[in-house]
Chains A and B, each alone.
Chain A
């Protein structure tokens, strides 16, 4: 009897995990095969447009991949020194600086995109004062990329590199560095010849995450892109114009291509064998070592300064500028002093923007709470399944899928799967938004639970509990779950914060139930700057408060 119950529970859990979390990504890829004829007719041999769609698809993909690649390269250059400092140095306020570094991973992207936009282009931003004339049309020569988009992508992705690399550095024995330096190598040579080979696997997996995030970034990009169209933005635009065939085809291409790229690198970096490579020809080694000695001796301050500047310009400055601008524009326009141009007037005046904002806030809170709540219920058995069964690791790997799938592609597949083209159950609305947020919330919570289980060595305690008379269910209830509760709660708050700030997928699936983070994009596009300032500041402040709560819980 009990055995049948167990089987039923496992079956229900497995089916819900599959349909809710894995199916959407799979569905979009399979759609390209199932609906091939329709896609072919519209994209490759469109009777009116010829192959215009195909060219547009290739163009956006080319831009997105170039952008992601350059973003990752810059991330690595800027992120490595910071990771090194976090892992090896101790100073006052290090905790706070580490938190600041991780901010871009949790704060709402549309709000952050808007913050970056006003930092670089508005009259309250510092760069206008410095005489830099930058706008959304500014293109960087040589690499031919839109400047603001690149800046935003670097801000939003460099924490992945810092996080994975500093974790790896903390695990490697600092004695290696000391030995190498005591044998006469300069710090820089030591880093290149000793430290770097040790952390290469983590550097690669951090880069993969950063690359995937850049490839799928939608919320902030929508705000700063101007006329540039990256692949995720093209999906959003086409979907809103109801051009489903090219949107679906681009979406499935994006998912498939990110996999083709990510899986080999993940596999390569997961290999235990030593990775050896040489970037510099052996004959030049002597010159390089000499150069490194010189740099280590004379330019040691560069590392700290560059890291500090990176953090300041990429993270702190935009947030401060946003909050500052909001306060300046709060009750009157600062230059003319007119009340009619103030945020208060826009919110509470004749346009009554406050209604729109408060409705979006309520929607967001409902979405994030319900999505997190559902995700927690799916995550608990998933964590147990991963740590307790032989096939758990497969599930754990599969759960990385929703994290690398571009969010707008995910949103599209949700519409196609649940809407009238697919199951015909749920249409774009608050309910589809909730379901979409579940897809990326489950992996976040599960990962927090699984890593806590492993780190705290819960299995040992479970064995003890069993021998003291606890049945398997007693053990789960009294030992396993209580032990990982803290991390589980922290993971849930993180998922809540993610959900609050998610823009790319939400844009497509929300229908008329606008969330606060997507509202920011609409407000910027419709030039309701005052309300955009207010909403972005609100989002970022809420995210900061939630981060503080996570810190409090996990410490």
Chain B
């Protein structure tokens, strides 16, 4: 086991009766890394965190913490701290009592709590109670408590999901900054794509207890490994077709509106029935015809003004798509207008046609 990893999870599985909460979960988290687990509700995120912290025993598999087998260790000796939504500061204790909880419980004297409070800049509030602090200060106290406990790994279970959008953005920036400064390794669980993208060094996408994909945020965004992930990360346009040929580094796909040509490296398959996926922001819209590939004539059905961008609802024959364009006040599109839509060959993604059907694949539900 390489000890450059803070955490190695090997083949973890857990079921509740007949329901498989986790299956064959294997991944590693590097020292000092900010690692996000992203997935919809019911994907098994909290179960995974509880297993890592030791609050729950896995049915099988191994957990290594800094290279040492911790699978059978109880939570109190793992040196992994768990921080749930709302931070779970003990409200019957003062700030100092909270931060020094770990020392108190083990009956040791230490300067660590005060040092930790100094580090998060809240030493002067040590005799206050948690409810007297703002949300941001509570977050810092929770971090100080983890730091004082000596844990090097921090598990964050939807820490920001109870907050409104503005506060969420503010606190997640601070959270990442503090964790990086304090040199902690963080595993942050969330269902909020933007939150994961903005804080994570790497993201693990979890679906129905299985790992869907692991990678850096931009890698996952650029090339989601499944239609499910693609549609979970953002809204997508998709159309089904058949690969009818290849050449000059491209595949040619026959669809109901015409032939698409897409770069070979943008495909997960080589032949057969496929789904072609484009994000609204990757589609180009133009009033004039150009010589680009994958150009189709479309009509604007509706216009949605979203501020910085404008979302166009278009039809290409019977195929309805959405395309996002920069808002231009001087040159506005109008409903009923005819335009040209271009699908750049280097931005489309080709997936194998899912055998469970498209709707099930996108909704991410378990197969019946």
Contact = CB atoms under 8 A, between A and B. Distances in A.
Interface of A: 460-461, 463-471, 474, 478-479, 482-483, 485
Contact of B83 (A464, A470, A471, A474): A464
Nearest to B75: A466
B313 interface: no
Interface string B71-88: 000111110111111101
B149 A469 contact: yes
Contact of A466 (B76, B92, B145): B76
Interface in B103-159: 104-106, 145-146, 149, 151, 155
B101 interface: yes
B237 interface: no
Given A466-B82, A470-B101, A483-B92, 10 more contacts: A463-B88, A466-B76, A467-B53, A468-B102, A468-B146, A469-B106, A478-B104, A478-B105, A482-B92, A485-B92
A529 to B, nearest CB: 50
Interface of B: 50, 53-55, 74-78, 80-86, 88, 90-92, 101-102, 104-106, 145-146, 149, 151, 155
A467 B55 contact: yes
A463 B55 contact: yes
A473 to B, nearest CB: 10
B105 A470 contact: yes
Which of the listed residues B90, B104, B155 has the most CB atoms from chain A within 10 Å of its own CB?
B90
The 3 closest A-B pairs by CB, nearest first: A466-B75, A467-B82, A464-B88
Contacts of A464: 81-84, 88
Contacts of A461: 88, 90
B105 A467 contact: no
B105 A463 contact: no
A471 B55 contact: no
A471 B74 contact: yes
A466 B88 contact: no
Nearest to A477: B105
A265 B184 CA distance: 55
A485 B90 CA distance: 13
Contact of A467 (B78, B86, B91, B106): B78
Given A461-B90, A478-B105, A479-B90, A467 B145 contact: no
Contact of A465 (B78, B80, B101): B101
A474 B146 CA distance: 18
A476 B76 CA distance: 13
Contacts of B104: 478
Contacts of A466: 53-55, 74-76, 82
A500 to B, nearest CB: 30
Nearest to A466: B75
24 contacts: A460-B85, A460-B88, A463-B55, A464-B81, A464-B82, A464-B83, A465-B90, A466-B53, A466-B54, A466-B74, A466-B75, A467-B53, A467-B75, A467-B151, A468-B105, A468-B145, A469-B76, A469-B101, A469-B105, A470-B76, A470-B101, A470-B105, A483-B92, A485-B92
A470 B88 CA distance: 15
Nearest to B76: A469
A478 B105 CA distance: 8
Contacts of A483: 90-92
B152 to A, nearest CB: 12
Contacts of A479: 90
A471 B76 contact: yes
A115 B322 CA distance: 76
A463 B157 CA distance: 11
A467 B84 contact: no
A468 B53 contact: no
Contacts of A482: 90, 92
A537 to B, nearest CB: 39
A463 B102 CA distance: 13
Contacts of A485: 92
Contacts of B85: 460
Which of the listed residues A460, A464, A466 has the most CB atoms from chain B within 10 Å of its own CB?
A464
A463 B53 contact: yes
Contacts of B90: 461, 465, 479, 482-483
